[in-house]
Amino acid sequence: MSENKKTFEENLNRLEEISNKMEEGDIDLEEAVDLYEEAGKLSKELDETLKKAQEKVKILVGETLEDFDSDIEEEE
């Protein structure tokens, strides 16, 4: 892993910062486009990280991804 690679949480926090800044609307068009581009890249990276985590979970539960509470049976 490269040293400048951000963690999932850091990327998610940055995406939230960008969203808040764009919602405020106090930015010019050029900055808005730059932030939109950065947000797209962050979103893609976050999605890829989540997909990798999902695949790991599938492996751990026997190739079938189920809800965490799906194995709980109600006692009669």
What's the pTM?
A: 0.69
Do 22 and 35 meet the contact criterion of CB atoms below 8 Å apart?
A: yes
Residue 38 lies in a domain: yes
Residue 1 lies in a domain: no
Model pLDDT, residue 43: 97
Domain that holds residue 46: 8-51
Residue 35 lies in a domain: yes
Model pLDDT, residue 65: 61
Residue 47 backbone phi and psi in degrees, to 5: -60, -45
Q: List pLDDT tens digits, range 34-67.
A: 999 999 999 999 999 999 988 888 777 776 666 5
Do 55 and 48 meet the contact criterion of CB atoms below 8 Å apart?
A: no
* Residues with Cβ within 8 Å of residue 65, at least 6 apart in sequence: 54, 57, 58
Residue 64 lies in a domain: no
| CA count, 13 A, side-chain hemisphere, 64 | 4
Q: What is the tally of structural domains in the chain? A: 1
